[in-house]
Amino acid sequence: MRLMLMFLGIVMVGCATQGKNTMSYTEGSPVKIINEVQVDAPYSRVWDTLVRDLAKSFYVINNIDRESRLLNVSFTTADPESYIELWPLDTHIH
């Protein structure tokens, strides 16, 4: 019985072949994202303006702490396609 199992295992391993990679990779072009702005104004005025403008927008202020400069916001939309980039289906790994 052991000999038959060992023979079956050798046959199964011997018949295995390496799969073919169908994924291709194209290097993307670098995109410069501006995520920092220096404002020449007193902190309290900038903070107050930021909070006021956020409160008027579609963002929801979840947590706010002026002293620690923590501001946590979120938003919900019925039209996410306006805010995300959808990948073509052929870029998924097969």
Q: Is residue 51 included in any domain, yes or no?
A: yes
Percent of the chain with pLDDT over 90: 22
Report yes or no on 1 lying in a domain: no
The 10s digit of each residue's pLDDT in 56-81 is 888 889 999 999 989 999 988 888 77
Q: Is residue 90 part of a domain?
A: no
Q: Specify if 34 maps to a domain.
A: no
Per the structure, the complete domain to which residue 52 belongs is given by: 41-76
Q: How many domains does the chain have?
A: 1
Is residue 16 in a domain? no
Residue 87 lies in a domain: no
Identify the segments of the chain with pLDDT beneath 50. 94
Does the residue 54 lie in any domain?
Answer: yes
The pLDDT, as a whole number, for residue 63 is: 93
18-43 per-residue burial string, b: 16 or more CB within 10 A, e: under 16: eeeeeeeeeeeeeeeeeeeeeeeeee
